[in-house]
Amino acid sequence: MSAKAVEQVETRGKLYEGKAKIVYATSDPRLIVQYFKDDATAFNALKRGTIVGKGVINNRLSAALFERLERAKVPTHYLRTLSDREMLCRRLDIIKIETIVRNVVAGSLAKRTGLDEGTPIRQPIVELYYKSDPLGDPMLNDDHVRMLKLATPAELGWIRRMALRINGVLRPHLLKHGLVLVDFKLEFGRAGGRLYLGDEISPDTCRLWDRETRERLDKDRFRQDLGGVEEAYQEVYRRLVGPV
Q: List, in sequence order, every residue forming a beta bridge with 50; answer none if it has no partner.
A: 39
What's the pLDDT score for residue 2?
54
Q: Give me the mean pLDDT over the 93-109 stretch.
A: 98
Same domain, 106 and 219: yes
Q: Give me the mean pLDDT over the 54-63 stretch.
A: 98
- Give me the CATH number covering residue 53: 3.30.200.20
What's the pTM value of the predicted model, to 2 decimals? 0.93
For residue 48, name the pLDDT band (cuts at 50, 70, 90): confident
Same domain, 69 and 117: no
Same domain, 114 and 207: yes
- Give me the CATH number covering residue 216: 3.30.470.20
Is 162 within a domain? yes
Q: Which residues constitute the domain of residue 80? A: 3-90
Same domain, 210 and 101: yes
d(CA 87, CA 109): 33
What's the pLDDT score for residue 42?
81
What's the pLDDT score for residue 104?
98
Q: What is the pLDDT of residues 147-175, one digit of tens each?
A: 999 999 999 999 999 999 999 999 999 99
Which whole-number Å values give the CA distances from 96 to 123, 191, 198, 199, 236, in the listed order?
25, 14, 12, 12, 29
Q: Which residues contact 72 (CB under 8 A, 6 or more apart)?
A: 165, 169
Same domain, 205 and 100: yes
Mean pLDDT, the chain, rounded, equals 95
Q: Which of 168, 186, 89 is nearest to 129 (CA)?
A: 186
Q: Which residues contact 209 (CB under 8 A, 6 or more apart)?
A: 104, 179, 180, 182, 215, 216, 217
Q: Which of 74, 126, 129 is nearest to 96 (CA)?
A: 129
d(CA 17, CA 194): 25
Determine which of 40-54, 95-109, 129-143 has the lowest per-residue pLDDT on average.
40-54
